[in-house]
Amino acid sequence: MKRIVGTAAPWLLSCSLLAVLSPSAAAQVPVGAAPAAGASPASGVVPAEQAAPSNEPKPGAEAKAADAAPTTWAGGIKINLQFEGGAIINPVNPDNGLNFGQLFTDRANQFVMNQALFTVQRPIDPKSSDYDFGFKFQALYGTDARYTQFMGELNRTFATKYQLAFIEANVAAHLPWLTEGGIDVKAGQFATPLGFETIDPSTNPFYSHSYIFNFGLPLVSMGALAVTHVSPMLDLYLGVDSGVNTTVGRGDNNTAAAGTAGFGLTFLDGKLTVLALSHFGPENPSRTVPNADGFYRYLNDILVTYKASDVLSFTTELNLIRDDFGLGHGAANGFGVAQYVSYALNESVALNARAEIYRDDNGFFVAGFRGYHDFMNAQLGFPAPGLVAAPPTTYSEITLGLTWKPTLPAPISGLMIRPEVRYDYALTNTKPFNNGSDRGAFTFGSDFVLSF
C-alpha cells in the first residue's frame, strides 16, 4: 500500500496548531443555536433564498450579522472577499491521483486553494411591501472553477487546475404583485436553487461534497427564475434557462431551452421546511448525440429540514436524476438519499454528520476527471481522455466532522475550520475507488474558509 505523500502533512499540522493557539470565545457567526429549518447545519438561521430567488445565499446559506438598514439604495451594496483552501488525505495514494466519488475535493494528498471568491451585491428584500431592486456579481478563482464554469466562458483560458469562473451575474427585483407576499425574480447567471449544499463553502457543513451535490444537481444556470410568495406557508418556483451549466450560442451544447419548477413549504413557525424543485430539459451535446434536443434530462430534489431544538437540526435530501439518452441504448437513472445531523456544542463549535446512499444505475453519472478540462470537454461533446468511469454501482458514504469558528480581529469578518473523516463504500460488488482497485476508500482532511 502506498503511503500518504508528505506535502500535505505540514498544512494539517499548521491547522492543528492554529486550533490550539487561536481564541475561541464567540464566533463571528454564532453556531451555538441550531439552524432553523432550511438552513445549513453550520449556519444558524433561515436563509432568505429558501423562500425567494433574492441575491442572498440559497438554501443552506449562513446569516451575516444584521447591519443598520441602509438609507439609500447604494447604501445596501455589500462587498465580500473569501478564501478557501484545504487537503483531502487518501492513505492509499491512488495511482491516478483521484479521490473517486468527489469532484471539488478530487485531488488526493494535495493542498489546493479551492476558491478565492469575490462578491459584490445589493440584495433585495423579499419581505418588502414595495418595489425593491438589486444585483449580484460573483467571481471564483481556484480549483473549484473546473466544475463551476459556464460553457462558453473562459473554458480554454487557463491551462492549470486553477481557473476562473463567473458564478453570479444577475439583476433581481421584488415586485409587490398578485399576492400579499409579492414575486421575487432574477435574471442572468446564478447558482442553482436546487439542493442543500452550495458552491459557496461558507454555507456547507463539510469540506467534501455529497454524491447528490456532485452528480445529481445542476450547478449554475443562465436564465430567469421567479418565486411567488402565495402565502406564509407556500412559495411557487418557476424559471427558464439555457440548460445545466450552459450559456447561449456556442456556450450551449444543444439548441433547446430548459426550465425549473417546484414549491417551498413552511410549517411550525419555520421549524419545518420542505423545498421540492425539478430542473428539466435536453442536456446532451449535439456533437455526439443525434437529435440531442429530443432527449430530456430530469434533475429532481426534495429537501426537508427540521429544527428539533435550539442546538439540534436534521436535514434529509432525496434526489432522482434521469437522462432519456443515457449511454445510447436506453435511459440512465441515478437516485439517492442523504441525511444530515448538526449539533451545536457552543457558539463556536458545531458537530456534523452526513450519511448517504446513491445509486448510479447505469454507470452514467458518477465519474472522475484527471485532466483539468475533461469535465468541460465531456459536457460540450469534445474528447475527454482523462475521464474515469465506473460500472453501475450503489455508493455509500459516511462523513463526520466539526465546524469551528474562532473570533478574529478586523478586517477578518469570519473564519471556519472544518476537519472531517469520510468513508466511501460500494454496496454492490464493484471496485470504483483508488484507481479501480478497492471497494471502499477512507479519506480525512480539513479546510479553512477565511472571509473579509
* Mean pLDDT score, 381-403: 96
Q: How many CB atoms sit inside 10 A of residue 374's CB?
A: 20
- DSSP per residue, 389-436: ---SEEEEEEEEEEEE-----TT--EEEE--EEEEEEESSS---BTTT
Mean pLDDT of the chain: 87
Helices (H) and strands (E) in the chain, counts: 4, 19
88 compared with 27, residue with greater pLDDT? 88
Cell digits for 168?
Answer: 453570479
Q: For the purposes of burial, counting CB atoms within 10 Å of the CB of 87, is it exposed (0-12), middle (13-18) or buried (19 or more)?
A: buried
**Cβ distance 143 to 107 under 8 Å?**
yes
3-state secondary structure of 117: strand
Task: Reply yes or no on whether the pLDDT at 17 is more than 50.
Answer: no
Picking from 95, 120, 202, the residue whose alpha carbon sits closest to that of residue 450 is 202
Task: Reply yes or no on whether the pLDDT at 26 is more than 60.
Answer: no
Query: Would you place residue 54 in the very low, low, confident or very high pLDDT band (cuts 50, 70, 90)?
Result: very low
* Mean pLDDT score, 160-176: 96
CATH of span 9-63+77-451: 2.40.160.10
Picking from 2, 11, 6, the residue whose alpha carbon sits closest to that of residue 93 is 2
Find the length of the chain. Answer: 452
Q: List, in sequence order, the alpha helices (H) in 191-334.
A: 211-215
Share of residues in the chain with pLDDT > 70 (%): 85
* Mean pLDDT score, 124-133: 91
Task: Reply yes or no on whether the pLDDT at 31 is more than 60.
Answer: no
395 compared with 12, residue with greater pLDDT? 395
* Mean pLDDT score, 115-130: 93
Q: Does an H or E element contain 272, and which?
A: strand 272-282
Q: How many CB atoms sit inside 10 A of residue 386's CB?
A: 17
pLDDT of residue 71: 79
Domain segments of the chain: what residues?
A: 9-63+77-451
- Write the CB contacts of 63 (distance below 8 Å, at least 6 apart in sequence): 29, 39, 43, 44, 45, 47
Query: Would you place residue 145 in the very low, low, confident or very high pLDDT band (cuts 50, 70, 90)?
Result: very high
- Rounded to 5 degrees, φ, ψ at 12 are -65, -35
Cell digits for 395?
Answer: 455508493
What's this model's pTM, rounded to 2 decimal places?
0.84
**Cβ distance 60 to 82 under 8 Å?**
no
pLDDT of residue 68: 56
- Write the CB contacts of 75 (distance below 8 Å, at least 6 apart in sequence): none
Which DSSP state fits 87?
E
- Tell me, what amino acid is at 2? K
Task: Reply yes or no on whether the pLDDT at 117 is more than 90.
Answer: yes
pLDDT digits (tens, 9 = 90+) for 338-354: 999 999 999 999 999 99
* Mean pLDDT score, 272-299: 95
- Rounded to 5 degrees, φ, ψ at 292 are -60, -30
Residue with cell 440559497: 58
In whole angstroms, what is the distance from residue 214 CA to residue 106 CA?
A: 11
* Mean pLDDT score, 272-287: 96
In whole angstroms, what is the distance from residue 118 CA to residue 132 CA?
A: 24
Q: Does an H or E element contain 10, and which?
A: helix 9-21
**Cβ distance 321 to 366 under 8 Å?**
no
Picking from 223, 310, 217, 210, the residue whose alpha carbon sits closest to that of residue 258 is 223
Task: Reply yes or no on whether the pLDDT at 22 is more than 50.
Answer: no
